[in-house]
Amino acid sequence: MSNDAYYAASLAASQELPTKEAVRAARVRFSTSPSEWARGEEAREAEASASQVIQGKPTHEQKEFGFAASRDNDAGRGRPSLIPEMAINRMAQRFAEGAAAHGDNNWRKGMPLSRFQDAIIRHAMAAGANDESEDHLAAILWNAAAWMDTQDGIRNCRLPASLDTTAHWSVS
């Protein structure tokens, strides 16, 4: 059952007309883990509100435009439009090269995080030495993106925890 169908079934079971608040609560319920449900809605809302205030984000939920339209607030969603197009294109080229050599999304099958960590360091050193044998900066972006996705896969149990082989350095 899709999440949207689950929301609808949950709201229909209550035999009430869904309000914006009910829909939002249902979405929060079904987009969080069971351990987060146990914390309770009030704790999550208070934490989210405090986080927004601390980060200087507006706490309102709608963005009003000067002409009748409104949309959900973009706070916390990131601003991909600020990423330099050149960086996206060069990283995309690295993904294309990898797909040609190993197949689409082969890296998503999982590899130890230390491989990404080591590659980032090697490519940073090569870029710093003005080595132009390959696009080292794009390789750093690729490895960082793959590291983040693999780390997310480990946290969300899509990939085994044994892949977390990074050197956990202390930062002072």
pLDDT digits (tens, 9 = 90+) for 130-162: 999 999 999 999 999 999 999 999 999 999 999
What are the backbone dihedrals phi and psi of residue 70, each rounded to the nearest 5 degrees, phi first?
Answer: -140, 165
pLDDT per residue as tens digits for the range 79-135: 889 999 999 999 999 999 999 999 999 999 999 999 999 999 999 999 999 999 999
Q: What is the pTM of this model?
A: 0.57
pLDDT value of position 53: 46
At residue 77 the predicted structure's pLDDT band, cuts being 50, 70 and 90, is confident
Q: Which of 97, 143, 98, 99 is nearest to 120 (CA)?
A: 143
Q: Is the pLDDT of residue 24 over 70?
A: no
Q: Which of 25, 31, 20 is nearest to 72 (CA)?
A: 20
Q: Is the pLDDT of residue 43 over 60?
A: no
What are the backbone dihedrals phi and psi of residue 66, each rounded to the nearest 5 degrees, phi first?
Answer: -70, 5
158: Cβ contacts below 8 Å, ≥ 6 apart: 152
Determine the Cα–Cα distance for residues 19 and 21; give it in Å rounded to an integer.
Answer: 5
SS3 56: coil
Q: Looking at this protein, which amino acid is placed at residue 87?
A: A
Read off the tokens for 83.
Answer: 């990423």
pLDDT value of position 47: 55
Between 43 and 84, name the one with better pLDDT. 84
Determine the Cα–Cα distance for residues 29 and 134; give it in Å rounded to an integer.
Answer: 47
Read off the tokens for 140.
Answer: 């750093």
pLDDT value of position 21: 60
